Structure 1
Amino acid sequence: MTRPAMLATLMKQANEEGAELVTLRAIVEETSELAADRILERLGLDDAQAEGDLGELRELLQAWRDAKASAWKAFVEWAIRAALALLLIGIAFRLGVWDVL
């Protein structure tokens, strides 16, 4: 029996016999599974290659995070070097190195 058919049967049973806790739980479970299947289908992840696709997406996301962290690290290092260079130029100016040259 397909999930939509099972859900229709459970809904009919709940309507005719009254909604017992077991029937309500079964309805929720079947509805959840049906909704999950629909979502996976809409995302294109309902085939056998979906697990590999998700693995590739995870690798791509990790590579992006690594690149972003590396770029920030390089920027901070560059900013520190620039600040130190300006500090050395300021010290040289204060000591009058320009007059000696």
Structure 2
Amino acid sequence: MNQQDMLAGLLAQAALEGSDLVTLRAIVEEASEVGARRMLTRIGLDDATAVNDLSELRELLQAWRDAKASAQAAAIGWLVRAVLAALLLGLAVRCGTTDLLR
């Protein structure tokens, strides 16, 4: 008996006998399973290689996060260096050391 048949049977049982808590929980569980399988089929993750696909996607996502963090750190480093260079240049102009360059 597949899951859709199981769900149909549980719904029929609930309609005939009334729906107690156990039957309702079983209906919810079976409906969740059917829905999850349908979703996995729609996105193409219902085969044996799905585990490897998800593992590769996680690795790719982690690599993207690492690259993004590295790029942000590099950008902040360049910004700090530029500000420090501007401060040094301003200090040199303020102290009058630009006369030495002439």
Matches within 5 A, 1:1-101: 1-101=1-101
What's the TM-score once normalised by structure 1's chain length? 0.95
- Segments of structure 1 that go 5 or more residues without pairing to the other structure are none
Equivalent residue letter for 2:27: I
Q: Distance in 2 between matches of 1:88 and 1:37?
A: 64
What's the TM-score once normalised by structure 2's chain length? 0.94
Deviant stretches of 4+, over 6 Å? none
Quote how far apart the aligned CAs of 1:4 are: 0.7
Quote how far apart the aligned CAs of 1:21 are: 1.8
Aligned positions, number: 101
Quote how far apart the aligned CAs of 1:18 are: 1.1
Equivalent residue letter for 2:38: R
Please list the CA deviations of residues 24-77 of structure 1 after superposition, one character each: whole Å capped at 9, or x if unmatched.
111111101101101111111110000000000000100010001000100010
Quote how far apart the aligned CAs of 1:2 are: 0.7
Equivalent residue letter for 2:71: A
**RMSD, aligned α-carbons:** 0.8
- Segments of structure 2 that go 5 or more residues without pairing to the other structure are none
Q: Distance in 2 between matches of 1:95 and 1:17?
A: 94
Equivalent residue letter for 2:45: L
For the residue of structure 2 that corresponds to 1:82, the secondary structure is helix
